[in-house]
């Protein structure tokens, strides 16, 4: 599956425990990553400081669904089921 242009769900919904450029303490779930531009594209994608948690994410129907809105819900549901206390 390819990422949907402008989605950004994987950069908003999941919590990320490792440091992210501009977010040295990581990112809580549901918080927009500071590295997203206005079109929900990552400004640091492919850069040396791109977080491992981000590079390990692979878009799949299970996480991304068939729309951006569904992706937000699916990722939030997964986050809640696996990490109830967030970051």
Domain residues for the domain of 31 are 9-82
The pLDDT mean for the chain works out to 91
How many structural domains is the chain composed of? Answer: 1
The dihedral region occupied by 36, where left means phi > 0, alpha psi between -120 and 50, and beta the remainder, is beta
Q: What is the reported pTM?
A: 0.85
| 4 found inside a domain | no
Within a domain: 1: no
Q: Is residue 2 part of a domain?
A: no
Flag whether 28 is in a domain: yes
* Residue 87, in any domain of the structure: no
Taking 50 as the pLDDT cut, the residues of the chain under it are 86
């Amino acid at each position: 599956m390819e990422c949907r242009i402008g989605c950004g769900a994987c950069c908003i919904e999941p919590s990320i425990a490792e440091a992210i450029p501009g977010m040295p303490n990581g990112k809580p779930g549901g918080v927009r990553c500071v590295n997203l531009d206005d079109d929900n594209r990552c400004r640091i994608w492919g850069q040396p400081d791109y977080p491992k948690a981000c590079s390990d994410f692979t878009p799949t129907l299970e996480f991304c669904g068939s729309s951006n809105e569904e992706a937000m819900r699916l990722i939030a549901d997964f986050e809640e089921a696996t990490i109830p206390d967030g970051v």
